[in-house]
Amino acid sequence: MKAGPLILWDLRGYRQYTRPSRYNAIVMTDQVLLKKDLFGEIRLSSGGDHMLIVRDVSAARAWLSWLARYLMRREARVLAALTDIDGIPELQSLTHDRLTRSYIAGTPMQRSRPTDRGYFLEAARLLRQLHRAGVVHNDLAKEPNLLVQEDGSPAFVDFQLAWYTQRRGPLFRALCYEDIRHLLKHKRSYCPQALTQRERRILANPGRLSKLWRHTVKAAYLFITRALLGWSDREGAGERGELS
C-alpha cells in the first residue's frame, strides 16, 4: 500500500503525524507571520537554508475553532494523498493545532503572468495527477493558488477546500470538470492563442455545479469572504504571496 493511504488512516483518527523527512533534524529558529485571520495564523518557519509553512489554528476565534481544525485536517488528508508529486506541498506534520508543510519557492500567477504554453501544458498534467490520486482542488479559480516556480514549472497551493475520495462518482467527476475549467480560464487570460477547440468548448459550457453555485451560494460566499473576512478578489490564504 502506498504511503498516502496509510497516512490518511492516521489522520482520520486525528492522530498526530510526523513524516520522515530531511527537515526533522533541522531546528527552525525564525518565524515570519504571513497571515492572521479568524481561522488562525500562517507562518513561514526557517532554519538555515530550509523553510516550512506552518498553519496554526490555536489562534482561531473561539466560535470558529472547530471549523478551523476541520479545514486543517481536511487539508492534511489531501496533502497526504498527494505525497511525492512535484509541484504540490508535502505534508510534514500534523498536531491538534498545527499543520506543517513544505515551502514551494515560486511567484503567484497574478504576478508572474505566464504566457508560455508549456506552463499550461504542465499545469494540466499536474491537475491530472491530482485527479488520478482522488483529489479535486476546488479553489483553482484564485490566481494566487497557482505558482510559477523558479524553473518555470507550475505548482498548486492552498488545499483547504480540496477534497480527497476513493470513489469516482458523479460529484467527483463534476468537480474535476470545474477544476479543468478554472485552469482553462487562466490559460484564456494569459495564453489565449494556445487554447484548443476542445478547450474552448469546455470554457463555453459551464457545468451544473458552476451554474448552481452562481445562482445560490456565490452571493453568500462573497459576503462572508469580503464583508466579514475582508478578503479581496485575489486573497484568501496567507502563503499566497511572494512566499509560498
Q: Where in the chain is the domain with CATH 1.10.510.10?
A: 106-228
Task: Yes or no: say if 121 and 163 are a contact pair by the CB < 8 Å rule.
Answer: no
* Order of strands across the sheet that contains 98-102: 17-18, 91-94, 98-102, 50-56, 40-47, 30-37
Looking at the chain, the whole-number percentage of residues with pLDDT higher than 70 is 74
pLDDT for res 240 = 43
Q: How confident is the model at residue 232 (pLDDT cuts 50, 70, 90)?
A: low
pLDDT for res 1 = 33
Q: What is the mean pLDDT of residues 87-103?
A: 95
Task: Yes or no: say if 105 and 52 are a contact pair by the CB < 8 Å rule.
Answer: no
pLDDT for res 37 = 84
pLDDT for res 6 = 43
Q: How confident is the model at residue 208 (pLDDT cuts 50, 70, 90)?
A: confident
Judge: domain 106-228, CATH 1.10.510.10.
yes
State how far the Cα of 115 lies from the Cα of 105, in Å rounded to an integer: 19
* CB-based contacts of 199-205 (< 8 A; 24+ apart in sequence): 202/177
Q: What is the mean pLDDT of residues 185-212?
A: 91
pLDDT for res 2 = 40
pLDDT for res 238 = 41
> Candidates 1.20.272, 2.60.120, 3.30.200, 2.30.29; correct CATH number of 3-102?
3.30.200
Tell me how far apart the terminal alpha carbons of the chain are, to the nearest angstrom.
30
State yes or no: pLDDT of 8 exceeds 60.
no
Q: How confident is the model at residue 43 (pLDDT cuts 50, 70, 90)?
A: very high
State yes or no: pLDDT of 52 exceeds 70.
yes
Give the mean pLDDT of the chain: 84
Q: What is the mean pLDDT of residues 20-25?
A: 53
Q: How confident is the model at residue 71 (pLDDT cuts 50, 70, 90)?
A: very high
State yes or no: pLDDT of 217 exceeds 50.
yes
Q: What is the mean pLDDT of residues 11-21?
A: 55
Higher pLDDT, 35 or 30: 35
